[in-house]
Structure 1
Amino acid sequence: MADVNRGNRPLSPHIMIYRPQMTSMSSIMVRLTGIGVFAVAILVVWWLLAASTSESAFAGIDGFLRSWFGDLILTAATWGLWYHTLGRLRHVIWDFGYCLDIETAEKLGLGMFVGATVLTLITVLVV
């Protein structure tokens, strides 16, 4: 193998080299909320399966989902669903070639956090 001087090669981009930016953090959050919403979807499927099997199975999962902790999980899942939806919408806008400059992209990232929070409050208050 050739003798390669590895000390002079540039480092590849890494999360610890660059400071966190709004666009990178919002992109990471879109992925995390997607995983979280999938996990809560499993709870919903469990709730539906329990409803179709027995009264005691349904009472257990329904009691959990109606508890304060279940309310907390479902509220967080609502926020995650709204955030993930707004993130996907942002990517559709980017796919059309709009809002790609850094200033607008950062505003969209901040708007996703604010928008998901406002939409979650509206959802919780209406339902």
Structure 2
Amino acid sequence: MAAPRQVERPLSPHLQIYRFTITMAMSIIHRITGVGLYLGTVLLAWWLIAAATGPDAYAVFLGVAASWLGKLILFGFTWALIHHLLSGIRYFFWDEAKAFDLKSADAMSWLAAIGGLAFTVLVWVAAVVLRGVM
């Protein structure tokens, strides 16, 4: 009886083989912002509960939200929301089998990344100008 022939199988690619691309980064950031939004709903719940509880509880919330750390967290939450939205639109196009070529995928990824930051800054500038939030 002859010994079974050993088949040469390809090795699974690993991180040293792949070139890090913008689409890879955006996929990772999309997941991170999704978790951030999930955790950020605690802020929304705190705001609503404080508003429903009364002026003292709301004053505590406003004190925390108006601090530099509170503003940084709210800025991050705003960015996560806008970034996740734009990245989700990018995934929607891919679900419809549009913009799959490398150039379009990269362009949409950069557009979502830059657009997320730009729209976040615009929202905060509008908040400062219109309401004097800072």
TM-score exceeds 0.5: yes
Task: Please say which structure displays the higher CA radius of gyration.
Answer: 2
> SS of the counterpart of 2:92?
helix
Cα distance in 2 for residues equivalent to 1:57 and 1:11: 59
Residue identity over aligned pairs, in percent, reads 36
- Cα drift, residue 122 of structure 1: 1.1
Q: Mind listing any 5+ residue stretches in structure 2 that lack a counterpart?
A: 1-5, 128-134
2:101 maps to what in 1?
101
Deviation of 1:23 after TM superposition, in Å, equals 0.8
- Structure 1: 4+ residue segments shifted above 6 A: none
In structure 2, C-alpha distance between the alignment counterparts of 1:62 and 1:13, rounded to whole Å: 51
Question: What 5-or-longer segments of structure 1 have no aligned partner?
Answer: none
TM-fit CA distance, 1:103: 1.3
Shift of residue 16, structure 1, vs aligned partner? 5.0
1:58, CA displacement in angstroms? 2.7
> Under a length normalisation based on structure 1, what TM-score does the superposition of the two structures give?
0.84
> Structure 1: how far apart are the matches of 2:35 and 2:91?
18
Separation of aligned partners in 2, 1:61 and 1:104: 44
Do the aligned partners of residues 84 and 15 (structure 1) sit closer, same or farther apart at CA in structure 2, a change above 3 Å counting?
farther
Compared CA separation, residues 53 and 126, structure 1 to 2 (3 A): same
- Is 1:63 aligned to residue 72 of structure 2? no
2:18 alignment partner in structure 1:
18
> How many aligned positions are there?
122
**How do 1:10-89 residues align onto structure 2 when only pairs under 5 Å count?**
10-89=10-89
Residue 13 (structure 1) shift: 4.1
State the 1:66 CA deviation.
1.3
CA displacement at 1:60 relative to structure 2: 2.2
State the TM-score, normalizing by the size of structure 2: 0.80
Q: Give the 3 Å change call, closer, same or farther, for CA 13–57 of structure 1 in structure 2.
A: farther
Q: Give CA deviations for 1:55-80 in whole Å, capped at 9, x if unaligned.
A: 43332222111111111111111111
Cα RMSD (Å): 2.0
Alpha-carbon distance in 2 for matches of 1:16, 1:37: 32
